[in-house]
A and B are shown apart, each in its own frame.
Chain A
Amino acid sequence: MKTEKHTLTMLVDNEPGVLSRVVGLFSGRGFNIDSLCVAETMDPKVSRITIVTQANPLLLEQIEKQLRKLINVIKLREMSDDRAVRREMALICVNARPESREEILRLVNLFRAKIIDVASNYYIIEASGDADKMTALIGLLKPMGIKKIARTGSVALYREPKRGI
């Protein structure tokens, strides 16, 4: 059976220890976590956790069931297909030598990223997009010399039923 990336997002009680239950489940049962994001939702009692994992279909079924079994997990959805949108964000500090500045600005434009800090020797770029876009941007910036990088995990939302199309 084929192992693929899956994005799982869950609404959980916003209480101490809940993240640890979720993460502990993954480590205790040998499930894998590629990335993880957590933040409060509009309801301060509820947080949203997004986890990207790699699993074959049987394992994915087991991961989902085990997560649903946690008392603090209110709702869980798999967000891997087109019915959901997924985004990651990165802050990239890149060398800004005179000969490469032009190319950096061009890439920033192309990728609809932003420069949020400037000095004579570096730029810090803020970029967001799906995982492929981030990988592509990082790949293109690499020759210029990436000094440091901070990436978030993926966040995802299900699309609402569409009206008026």
Chain B
Amino acid sequence: MKLTGAQILMEILKEEGVDTIFGFPGGAVIDLYDELMRSGLRHLLVRHEQGAVHAADGYARASGKVGVCLVTSGPGATNTVTGIATAYADSIPLVIITGQVPTQLIGNDAFQEVDIVGITRPCTKHNYLVSRVEDLARVLKEAFYIARSGRPGPVLVDIPKNVGAATTDYKPIEPVNIKSYKPTYLPNIKQIHKAVELIKGAKQPVIFAGGGVILSKASGELTTLARTLQIPVTTSLMGLGAFPGDDPLWLGMLGMHGTYRANMTISHSDLLIAVGVRFDDRVTGKTDCFACNAKIVHIDIDPTSIRKNIAVAVPVVGDCKNSLMEINRVVAERQLEQLNAQHAEWLTQIETWRKEHRLAYQQQDVIKPQYVVEKLYELTRGEAIITTEVGQNQMWAAQFYHFKRPQQWITSGGLGTMGFGLPAAIGAQVAFPEATVVDIAGDGSIQMNIQEMATAVQYGLPVKIVILNNRCLGMVRQWQQLFYDKRYSHTLMEHAPDFVKLAEAFGASGLRAVHPDEVETVLAKGLATAGPVIMEFLVDNEECVYPMVPAGKPITDMLLV
């Protein structure tokens, strides 16, 4: 069958189960877009290419599928870089198709030419420049395979204009087999037995789960392990939702803005079962003091995550789901359930820590941001898909919205990309048109990709945006407040748009709450309004996120309210 490069692209997208792509056209991809029109694939036209990648990312995080975007060469490609780095840091499967100038012009500084493969080499899992149409089908199949397998990640495919236009014989590709890329899915059973042996001996165990549990859909296995043996569970920011937030064994998040009891539990544990985590510095604080009384079992599919930051007693390289299944199997075989009794004292101690310091705030005359998140949690009955921007808004969302299930929490954890939340909410809403999708934002972050409101309105995507407006870049201001003697160097945003009018200008609805007693009404009204809504809350401008572990300190050195 004779097909053009553009036709091959559409064929493979369909073969890979893609039905929606996010993109922005341009000269180098005009042939691809011409074919796209006939392909039957759904395309969402964003307003900035960064929005396309974040939207594809939000779509992937919410649905577990590979997110796809299509952009043109040069500036179209460079605009995707922050989005790609965001997905890479959080191991999100994406395929990014960029146009490129025709092969004969590559290297000539042609119009809208940029070496995007060179630029994105360090922030993609892999990338390709396709120089012959004959290679296109194989490369695209490999791109999807690499993006979704092993530790997932973004893969970029750069297609020169003439490659998209050229014709070749197309026959469906054999299953992908890359000899130098074979992720380890099944754990070494000896390591599993060693892990179980440590579990058996532990008096004060704790489970620490991360984004890997969400990605490998292992939250059921994790919950079984925790409940069977009565082991308390904490997660990283990326792991929220991996364990039910209303379970008595739930400790809350750990780390820099983790709960008092989670950080205390980690620090006093004698066994840490780390699953799908990479021991980020925001989690560990000073590494020498992190869980220093504990033996550590570390399960991860990526060997580079193991022993990178923290020494471990039992490394387990394997898929989180498979590894936890094996552990559960061995626990059941050896009838270790009765061990749960030996953790009773430990759980009592944790309960004491819980009572000593809860996440708290005082709602007085001014709206407290935490109050808004708590009310949002109540009104949505904890069922909404929550995306966030980055900073204080993100931390309050993480602390005060209690997640019930995986893929309900969508945030830029690793890279910490302001401007992520709105386009990610759009992507999540595309994946789940009926769901309530809320972007919890700050007045600073929301302005970074506010142009995507137009996308939400154009496609009738009813995303709800909660802006916690404190008239400043709150997290940096918090550091300045606490550690720089209140020298607020350029963190006070003295001018912001009128967000209500802005929403209306985009063709969406806008609501505002100024007094605490308006919070619930505005939220209820906003959530009940059809179409996209911006809800602005004028919150206390000096509120801080607590607990806080100053950077580089042990996680027991918490500043508390």
**Residues of A participating in the B interface, judged by any CB pair closer than 8 Å:** 13, 16-17, 20-21, 24-25, 28, 58, 61-62, 65-66, 68-69, 71-75
Contact = CB atoms under 8 A, between A and B. Distances in A.
Given A65-B304, A71-B180, A74-B179, A24 B122 contact: yes
Nearest to B304: A65
Contact of B121 (A24, A61, A65): A24
Interface string B315-348: 0000000000000000000000000000000000
Contact of A65 (B129, B146, B179, B303): B303
Interface string B171-199: 00000001111000000000000000000
B304 A74 contact: no
Interface in B121-151: 121-122, 125-126, 129, 146
**What 6 A-B pairs have minimum CB-CB distances, sorted nearest first?**
A74-B180, A65-B304, A71-B126, A65-B303, A28-B122, A71-B181
Given A71-B126, A71-B181, A20 B304 contact: no
30 contacts: A13-B180, A16-B129, A17-B117, A17-B118, A17-B121, A17-B129, A20-B118, A20-B121, A21-B121, A24-B121, A24-B122, A25-B122, A28-B122, A58-B307, A61-B307, A62-B307, A62-B308, A65-B303, A66-B304, A68-B303, A69-B302, A69-B304, A71-B126, A71-B146, A71-B178, A71-B180, A71-B181, A73-B180, A74-B179, A75-B180
Interface centre among B125, B146, B303, B304 (most CB of A within 10 A): B304
Contacts, number: 36
Contacts of A66: 304
Contacts of B180: 13, 71-75
Contacts of B129: 16-17
A135 B550 CA distance: 49
A62 B304 contact: yes
Contacts of A71: 125-126, 146, 178, 180-181
Nearest to A75: B180
Interface string B33-44: 000000000000
A25 B121 CA distance: 9
Nearest to A74: B180
Interface string B98-136: 000000000000000000011001100110010000000
A6 B126 CA distance: 27
A80 to B, nearest CB: 20
Contacts of A28: 122
Contacts of A20: 118, 121
Contacts of B308: 62
Contacts of B303: 65, 68-69
Interface string B291-317: 000000000001110011000000000
Contacts of A68: 303
A136 to B, nearest CB: 38
Nearest to A67: B304
A55 to B, nearest CB: 14
Contacts of B307: 58, 61-62
Contacts of B181: 71
B221 to A, nearest CB: 25
Nearest to B118: A20
Contacts of A61: 307
A28 B274 CA distance: 27
B323 to A, nearest CB: 18
